[in-house]
Amino acid sequence: MHGDGTDGQALDSVCTIPIDELPDGLVVADAEGVVLAVNRAAERLTGVRASEAVGQVMDEVFPFRDHDGREWWKALDLAGGLRTRSRVPERSLRLPGGRELYVAARMIRVPARGGDVERVTITLRDGGARARLERSRADLVTVVAHELRSPLTSVKGFTATLLAKWDRFTDEQKRVMLETVNNDADRVTRLITELLDVSRIESGRLEIHRQVVDLPARAQRIIAGRVAAGEPEDRFRLIVGENLPEVWLDQDKIDQVLANLVENAVRHGRGTVTIDIQSVGWGVAVSVRDQGEGIAPELAPRVFEQFWRGNSRRRGGTGLGLFIVKGLVEAHGGTITVQRAPEGGAEFRFTVPTGTPDFA
């Protein structure tokens, strides 16, 4: 805390954790509505400094109103209502200047069950940030629905045709149609997997199952898969440095990172796709580079955002791949960057730390 010191003393009396480190705004008041503590996030969201608020009455320094103009603090009715009530659900409120915040409250009772309210902790979140998140989720639903429509239409069309006119087709025609259905089903599965990955990354529920991973062997496996799918073998080059340290990673997720970066280089780049694996001071760095047009410096900060697709002439996909790659790398405690490759084109470089099964 900061200010004239009064707010810091009040904070010490109600809380033993550094509330200034909390990402959301926090205001603590007693049962009479006197403000006891305000963290930095709340200062930023409301424009009211802790030194100005502590010791003052809630409704005077934080006059929250609902969209009908009703006073939120008075509506809490701390002295009345059910004595078992301990939480006030989050809702959209406004300050006099028009700033929208999402506000929730928790009532601390003594004793905890059925006692009098001793103090109230109030959390604040930016309404604009919530609106942006909701727009992002709406965009995600729109993009995924659009991408699902094509393969599902194809699956429905071919299966309906086969069921209705099975005897009219040759075995070769049936095989081609069933292969198409199978490929489209794989595409739907990939889309659903991407959607689940995004959800886990955004909610912080991504689980990492570590084991010793041979990164050169995994990279070679990705290359072999591309060649088996029809890419020329000389399109790829693998460079491996000496004395690579042991790394404990989630093998499936690292395969996903490598496959996505190689796919990105093949689809959007030209020339040779190089995978370069080298030891660095605190782990292993993997670079995937192509010889295409590269990425303009002003676009580099956007590359790992949701729905980024790069070259607008090459549509297709959800634009979630690089967002997921970044989330997977960071879940391993690593970092990822993009820059211009030495031979032109784009170079994606991710670094993962050395560690043990217990590394977090």
Residues whose CB is less than 8 angstroms from the CB of residue 121 and which lie 6 or more positions away in sequence, other chains included: 26, 27, 28, 105, 106, 108
Distances (CA, A) of 248 to 123, 202, 332: 38, 23, 9
- Per the DSSP assignment, residues forming a β-bridge with 92 are 102
Burial class (CB in 10 A: 0-12, 13-18, 19+), 212: exposed
Structural tokens at position 78: 């701390």
Q: Collapse the DSSP code of 42 into the 3-class scheme (helix H, G, I; strand E, B; otherwise coil) and give the result.
A: helix
pTM score, two decimals? 0.58
Structural tokens at position 16: 């033993």
346 DSSP 8-state letter: E
- Per the DSSP assignment, residues forming a β-bridge with 126 are 101
- Report pLDDT digits (tens) over 10-68: 444 444 557 888 888 999 999 999 999 999 999 999 999 999 999 999 989 999 998 88
Question: What domains can be seen in the chain, in order of their start residue?
Answer: 6-127 (3.30.450.20), 131-203 (1.10.287.130), 211-353 (3.30.565.10)
- Report pLDDT digits (tens) over 153-189: 889 999 999 999 999 999 999 999 999 999 888 888 8
Q: How far is C-alpha 48 from the geometric centre of its chain's CA atoms? A: 31
